[in-house]
Amino acid sequence: MNRNKHSLFAPFGDLPPGIQLLFVWLSFLTPLVAWCVVSYVPFVWHPLMRVADPGGVSYFQKDTLVDKKVFRAENEKMLAAGKAVATGVPANPVFLPAPHEVAQALYKSFTTPPRRKGEPWLHESLWHSIRIIFWGFLLSSILGVPLGILCGTFKVFAKLSEPAVDFFRYMPAPVFGALAVAVLGIYDGPKVAIIVIGTFFQQVLVIANTTRKLDPSLVEAAQTLGAGQIQILFQVVLPGIAVDLYNDMRILIGCAWTFLIVAEYIGASSGITFFINQQAKYRIYDNVFAAILIIGVIGFATDRVLDWIGRRIFPWQKSSGRGGLLKALRESRRKTNPA
Amino acid sequence: MNDDYQAQSPEVAARFAKLRQRPVILDVKNLTKTFVSQGLEHTTLDRISFQVYRREFMCVLGPSGCGKSTLIRIIAGLDSPTSGEVLLDGHQVSGPGPDRGMVFQGYTLFPWLTVKKNVMFGLRMAGQGAATAESEAREWISLVGLSKFENSYPHQLSGGMKQRVAIARALANRPRILLMDEPFGALDAQTRAQMQSYLLEIWKNVDVTILFITHDLDEAVYLSDRILVLGTNPRRISEMIEDPVPRPRDRSQFVSPPFLATYHRLGELIHPPAADVQDRLPITRMTMVGDDVE
């Protein structure tokens, strides 16, 4: 075996499994450590001073955040005037909470009731957002997936729809916001519509392209085996692109999340965006960070689950190939020598 | 020496006499294929005519770019000719169909189906029930010796095994003729030799006519009844050779006089002697110790 194959920087090489896991952890730990350093090491960044004792400075109060320069200038004045100097500790701006504050907020934001009656709890906001995504993506897919496959398979459909789709694709989905509100009202209708508009056109083109990448010799083989046009569509094209289609959908669902935030600004602000905006207005940035993190966690968890499902519903995938072959060989050997 | 390949032993002559008695399965008449590229008209096939008899094994041999793949694709119905026609059992061919099975050079097994389901594919297309198709598929799989792998997926098989499944899949439809487009071209030499012997075995045991495309001279002489040699300039049939090597064939015949004579003749047809001189490379001498190599 090639000795260089396991070297860290071998082009297209493999990593030993232990090292691989280490790097997976590092990919999450590195940004977290950077955040910790900026938050907890006083001489890194910390552009402000949190006042502990205002001393003689008239407008300082306990816990006020003051620019370091101002703090120093005021203290020099105080020294010159012979008054008591203010004391304080270096601090970061309010919009950069420390990791432990966000960690607390992650828990507290679910348990703290909304400030005003009638405002939704965090979990209600989240659930609302997820419902919007679900309906938007579902409606888009009901139209987009079949149309994409038809465009990829039959020139007629491609010529009939792709130029227009390409044209609409360049109109940013949010510009339809006002129109969507006029037509669909101010509640969830226009939000779902924005996600559909944002996803649908990409979806058609991406899936048409995936369909076109199907190995044409598979279609030819099916023809020489007597398959008709409908049979080719359902028994060759569909299963032939299934794996790639599934992965496309995973990417497109990320696309739907992007449009969610825009969609939730339209009409009556709602969902996770509303929650984030409210918290930012109250200057509770711990909660803002917590909510953003939760979106990330939901997206990442969804993708992992889809990946896990994908590996089970497509057993012919090459990724599981090596183990699969060894298993098949081992089993066939076991069958021949029952000992 | 040049005429040796035409000398046939009495048994071989009798074989060919019998062969010519059999009905014609495939009749290719005046097939021409031209295409236009950058305003110029190119001829890929120029008035090709030949006949294949029932149960015959015919190889089509030619240098790369002579249009042999185009020829087989037209016969399969995957391409259409500019003029001329292809008759199968006297009926004109238009479009692909299960009466002409095809084995491609690339691997064309359906990756999402197991070996068994791949072989069942054509039978299911023909409207057979799952149970009959399955039991029939099993027989074809055991014919190519892959019963142990009937539930494996194609990516779990080696190249040679994949092509054996492809042969089983094409034969399961009981085609009148099996078209093979350089089916062993991507295999290593050892597997290739093994596959050639397998194929002769299968052909002996199954009532099928085979049209086999290759650019490998050994392969053509080893497998064929007749060898159709296509030329590049003009793009016509250079010669139809009756393979004088007696059957049953085995690899020891590779050094027998009829084999060598045929091989030699094919070499002359495919690589004309003049080409050797034209192809000499303008290499400057770059070694001090090179005197010993020749």
User: Which residues on A lie below 8 Å from B112 (Cβ)?
Assistant: 239-240, 242, 314, 316
Residues A72 and A192 in one domain: no
Residue B256 lies in a domain: yes
Backbone angles phi, psi at B45, to 5 degrees: -130, 135
Are B241 and B226 a contacting pair, CB within 8 Å?
Answer: yes
Residues B69 and B129 in one domain: no
Residue B42 lies in a domain: no
Residue B289 lies in a domain: no
Residues A160 and A197 in one domain: yes
Find the range with the poorest average confidence among A170-179, B52-61, B198-207, B266-275.
B266-275
Q: Confidence class of residue A323 from pLDDT cuts 50, 70 and 90? A: very low
Q: What is the pLDDT of residue A284?
A: 85
HSE, CB side, 13 Å, CA atoms: give it for residue A173: 26
Q: What is the pLDDT of residue A182?
A: 87
Residue from the list A215, A226, A325 with its beta carbon closest to the beta carbon of B156: A325
User: Distance, in angstroms, between B202 CA and closest chain A CA?
Assistant: 19
| A316/B108 Cβ within 8 A | no
CATH code of A248's domain: 1.10.3720.10
Does the pLDDT value for residue B293 go beyond 80? no
Residue from the list A226, A235, A335 with its beta carbon closest to the beta carbon of B98: A226
Identify the DSSP state of A114.
P
Q: Confidence class of residue A10 from pLDDT cuts 50, 70 and 90? A: confident
Number of domains in chain B: 2
Residue A58 lies in a domain: yes
Residues A117 and A77 in one domain: no
Residues A187 and A292 in one domain: yes
Q: How far apart are CA A219 and CA B120, in angstroms?
A: 16
Residues B63 and B188 in one domain: yes
Total Cβ atoms within 10 A of residue B83: 11
| A335/B104 Cβ within 8 A | no
Residue of chain A whose alpha carbon sits nearest to that of B96: A224
Number of domains in chain A: 3
Residues A33 and A68 in one domain: no
Q: How far apart are CA A132 and CA A339, in angstroms?
A: 59
CA-angle at B119, arms to B116 and B122, nearest 5°: 140
Q: How far apart are CA A205 and CA A182, in angstroms?
A: 28
| B110/A223 Cβ within 8 A | no
Residues A216 and A286 in one domain: yes
Residues A23 and A136 in one domain: no
Residues A214 and A278 in one domain: yes
Are A115 and A282 a contacting pair, CB within 8 Å?
Answer: yes
Find the range with the poorest average confidence among B27-36, B82-91, B143-152, B228-237.
B228-237
CB contact A312 to B (< 8 Å)? no
Residues A127 and A240 in one domain: yes
Residues B140 and B260 in one domain: no
Q: How far apart are CA A310 and CA A246, in angstroms?
A: 7
ipTM attached to this prediction: 0.88
Q: What is the pLDDT of residue A3?
A: 53
**Among B174, B189, B218, which residue terminates a domain?**
B174
pLDDT tens digit string along A281-317?
A: 888 888 889 888 998 898 888 888 888 888 888 888 7
Q: Confidence class of residue A136 from pLDDT cuts 50, 70 and 90? A: very high
| B156/A324 Cβ within 8 A | yes
pLDDT tens digit string along B177-198?
A: 999 999 998 899 999 999 999 9
Total Cβ atoms within 10 A of residue B111: 19
| B29-38 mean pLDDT | 90
Residues B210 and B254 in one domain: yes
| B265-281 mean pLDDT | 71
Sequence-distant (≥ 6) Cβ neighbours of residue A183 within 8 angstroms: A189, A190, A193
Residue B249 lies in a domain: yes
Under an 8 Å CB criterion, which residues of B touch A?
Answer: 76-78, 95-98, 100-102, 104, 106, 108, 110-113, 121-122, 125-126, 148-149, 152-156, 169-170, 173, 179
Count contacts between A and B (CB, < 8 Å).
85
User: Which residues on B lie below 8 Å from A315 (Cβ)?
Assistant: 153
Q: What is the pLDDT of residue B53?
A: 95
Question: If you search the block for the tokens 């979106």, which residue do you land on?
Answer: A295
Residues B205 and B148 in one domain: no
User: Which residues on B lie below 8 Å from A226 (Cβ)?
Assistant: 97-98, 122, 125-126, 173
pLDDT tens digit string along B252-264?
A: 999 999 999 999 9
Total Cβ atoms within 10 A of residue B159: 15
Residue A208 lies in a domain: yes
Q: What is the pLDDT of residue B61?
A: 92
Residues A24 and A65 in one domain: no
| B230-236 mean pLDDT | 80
Q: What is the pLDDT of residue A330?
A: 46
Q: What is the pLDDT of residue A333?
A: 44
Q: How far apart are CA B228 and CA B212, in angstroms?
A: 10
Residue A336 lies in a domain: no
Residue B292 lies in a domain: no
Residue from the list A218, A240, A332 with its beta carbon closest to the beta carbon of B148: A332
Mean pLDDT, rounded, of chain B = 89
Q: What is the pLDDT of residue A320?
A: 41
Q: How far apart are CA B120 and CA B114, in angstroms?
A: 10
Q: What is the pLDDT of residue B277?
A: 56
Residue A121 lies in a domain: yes
Does the pLDDT value for residue A332 go beyond 60? no
Residues B189 and B204 in one domain: yes
Which helix or strand (DSSP H or E) is residue A304 part of? Answer: helix A285-313
* Residue from A61, A69, A75 nearest A90 by CA: A69
Which helix or strand (DSSP H or E) is residue A48 part of? Answer: strand A48-53
Residues B163 and B188 in one domain: no
User: Distance, in angstroms, between A287 CA and closest chain B CA?
Assistant: 47
Share of chain B above pLDDT 70, in %: 93
Residues A54 and A132 in one domain: no
| B267-281 mean pLDDT | 69
pLDDT tens digit string along A39-71?
A: 999 888 899 999 988 888 888 888 888 898 999
Mind giving me the DSSP string for chain B?
-TTGGG---HHHHHHHHHHHHSPEEEEEEEEEEEEEETTEEEEEEEEEEEEEETT-EEEEE--TTSSHHHHHHHHHTSS--SEEEEEETTEE--S--TTEEEE-SS--S-TTS-HHHHHHHHHHHTT--HHHHHHHHHHHHHHTT-GGGTTS-GGGS-HHHHHHHHHHHHHHT--SEEEEESTTTTS-HHHHHHHHHHHHHHHHHS--EEEEEES-HHHHHHH-SEEEEE-SSS-SEEEEEE--SPSSP-GGGGGSHHHHHHHHHHHHHHS-THHHHHT---PPP--SSGGGG-
Residue A133: domain span: 107-316
CB contact A245 to B (< 8 Å)? no
Residue A338 lies in a domain: no
pLDDT tens digit string along A184-240?
A: 888 889 999 999 999 999 999 999 999 999 999 999 999 999 999 999 999 999 999
Residues B119 and B209 in one domain: no
Backbone angles phi, psi at B30, to 5 degrees: 50, 40
User: The pTM is what?
Assistant: 0.81
HSE, CB side, 13 Å, CA atoms: give it for residue A260: 28
Q: What is the pLDDT of residue A335?
A: 41
Residue of chain B whose alpha carbon sits nearest to that of A334: B148
Interface probe, candidates B74, B156, B157, B211, chain A, greatest A C-beta count within 10 A: B156
Residue A329 lies in a domain: no
pLDDT tens digit string along A151-181?
A: 999 999 999 999 999 898 888 888 888 888 8
CATH code of B184's domain: 3.40.50.300
Total Cβ atoms within 10 A of residue B173: 23
Residue of chain A whose alpha carbon sits nearest to that of B146: A332
Residue B243: domain span: 53-79+91-99+176-272
Q: Confidence class of residue B291 from pLDDT cuts 50, 70 and 90? A: low
Q: What is the pLDDT of residue A111?
A: 82
Residue of chain A whose alpha carbon sits nearest to that of B172: A225
Total Cβ atoms within 10 A of residue B68: 24
Residue of chain B whose alpha carbon sits nearest to that of A316: B112
Sequence-distant (≥ 6) Cβ neighbours of residue A269 within 8 angstroms: A277
User: Distance, in angstroms, between A335 CA and closest chain B CA?
Assistant: 9
| A134-148 mean pLDDT | 95
User: Distance, in angstroms, between A333 CA and closest chain B CA?
Assistant: 9
Q: Where does residue B202 rank: exposed (0-12), middle (13-18), buried (19+ CB within 10 A)?
A: buried
| B31-45 mean pLDDT | 88
Does the pLDDT value for residue A92 go beyond 50? yes
Residues A152 and A228 in one domain: yes
CB contact A247 to B (< 8 Å)? no
Q: What is the pLDDT of residue A30?
A: 95
User: Distance, in angstroms, between B115 CA and closest chain A CA?
Assistant: 11
**Among B174, B196, B218, which residue terminates a domain?**
B174
Find the range with the poorest average confidence among A77-81, B88-92, B131-135, B278-282.
B278-282
CA-angle at A301, arms to A298 and A303, nearest 5°: 110
Residue A326 lies in a domain: no
**SS3 state of residue A297:** helix
| A224/B102 Cβ within 8 A | yes
